[in-house]
Amino acid sequence: DAGVTQSPTHLIKTRGQQVTLRCSPKSGHDTVSWYQQALGQGPQFIFQYYEEEERQRGNFPDRFSGHQFPNYSSELNVNALLLGDSALYLCASSRGGTGYQSNYGYTFGSGTRLTVV
């Protein structure tokens, strides 16, 4: 059973550029959440997608946007990259949207390491 798949694993971009990160959720999961994890910090919630709509959003600027496709996969887009956007971007999948509750937690991918130079 495939877990959460993220691509690419590493990415280097220049300030001002745009980037797209991709996530395929675990089989059976229909909800995707994106997190940003700076070095030495815990993951910070960016937003959550369920039924192809953004359901919740964290305290991130509009430069961060996303999309969910009919097959439940998701993309995270970041425009006008800043040096401070350098981080590990994590995708977590779950079931049932915001009402999710499970004994098995959210399943995380291995992340995309974004470096902005």
Written as six digits, the tokens of 58 are 């964290």
- Which of 66, 111 has the CB closer to another protein? 111
- The reply on whether position 5 binds another protein by CB under 8 A is no
- Exactly one of 27, 77, 110, 115 binds another protein (CB under 8 A); which one? 110
Return the structure tokens found at 20. Answer: 């797209």
* DSSP at 99: G
Please pick, from the candidates 49, 72, 111, 116, the single residue that binds another protein as defined by CB under 8 A. 111
CA distance 17 to 49: 24
Task: Give, for 55, the enclosing helix (H) or strand (E).
Answer: strand 53-57
B/e letters for 93-104, b = 16+ CB within 10 Å, e = fewer, are bbbeeeebeeee
Is residue 44 within 8 A of residue 36, CB to CB? The reply is yes
Among 45, 67, 75, 86, binds another protein (CB under 8 A): 45
Within residues 67-106, the interface with another protein by CB under 8 A covers: 88, 90, 92, 98-106
- Told to check if 63 binds another protein by CB under 8 A, we report no
Binding site for another protein (CB under 8 A): 4, 33, 35, 40-45, 47-48, 56-59, 88, 90, 92, 98-111, 113
